């Protein structure tokens, strides 16, 4: 009983630790300072690469084919000032560091970050256009900056971890209480039997 209860408690703490790690990694940029920046350029860049897909076989005796895979990467450029000094940044932080599978997904990430507006596919400040966006920068090193897109699915997974941890702890607590009640009933029955045997021996 005690081993099972301890195992459940340890598993619950492990789930809570995983939740803390996921949420901390998802909101690492929230520890940075926020400021307004002037957007210089925003677009989606496509990169193609040749990928080998093995159909069947093992190691060097395998057979397959090559295919061209396209990945889409958001690109931004912005200018911001910290304590009167101007800086330039080009980092766009998003969950899919390996790029997006379609141009629409990459454009949606730029729009969710407030860089592009609806129906826009690019932005350039060359023709007198001006747009301000929110960026994050490291207060200890203002050269480090990024436009951050908070991954929505991470928070959903976080709530799943919370619910899973609560459910697991609740199940283990119910199991512990049921085992405790069963142990108390067994002890009471044992005491009753011992009392009966003592009374029987005293009568003899």
Q: What is the pLDDT of residue 191?
A: 80
Distance between CA atoms of residues 168 and 21, nearest Å: 19
Q: What is the pLDDT of residue 154?
A: 46
DSSP for 93-106, please give it: E-S-TT-BSSHHHH
Q: Which two tokens stand for residue 101?
A: 């599978």
Question: What are the distances in angstroms from CA 153 to CA 81, 111, 158, 164?
Answer: 32, 17, 8, 16
Q: What is the pLDDT of residue 11?
A: 58
**H helix runs in 27-138, sequence order:** 103-112
The residues that bridge with 136 in the sheet, in sequence order, are 34, 146
Ranges of residues in the chain with a pLDDT under 50 are: 2, 25-26, 57-62, 153-155
Q: What is the pLDDT of residue 15?
A: 58
Q: What is the pLDDT of residue 76?
A: 95
Q: What is the pLDDT of residue 42?
A: 95
Task: Yes or no: say if 92 and 146 are a contact pair by the CB < 8 Å rule.
Answer: yes
Q: Kindly report the pTM of this predicted structure.
A: 0.56
Q: What is the pLDDT of residue 69?
A: 83
């Amino acid at each position: 009983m005690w081993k099972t209860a301890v195992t459940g408690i340890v598993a619950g703490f492990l789930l809570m630790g995983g939740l803390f790690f996921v949420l901390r990694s998802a909101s690492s940029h929230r520890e940075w300072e926020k400021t307004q920046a002037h957007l210089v350029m925003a677009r989606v860049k496509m990169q193609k690469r040749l990928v080998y897909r093995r159909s069947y076989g093992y190691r060097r005796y395998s057979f397959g084919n090559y295919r061209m895979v396209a990945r889409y990467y958001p690109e931004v450029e912005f200018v911001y000032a910290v304590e009167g000094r101007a800086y330039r940044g080009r980092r766009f932080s998003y969950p899919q560091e390996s790029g997006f599978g379609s141009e629409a997904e990459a454009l949606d990430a730029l729009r969710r970050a407030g860089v592009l507006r609806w129906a826009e596919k690019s932005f350039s400040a060359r023709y007198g256009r001006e747009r301000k966006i929110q960026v994050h920068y490291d207060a200890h090193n203002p050269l480090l900056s990024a436009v951050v897109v908070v991954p929505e699915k991470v928070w959903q997974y976080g709530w799943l971890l919370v619910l899973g941890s609560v459910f697991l702890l609740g199940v283990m607590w119910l199991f512990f209480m049921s085992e405790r009640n069963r142990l108390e009933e067994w002890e009471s029955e044992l005491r009753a039997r011992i009392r009966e045997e003592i009374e029987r021996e005293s009568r003899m």
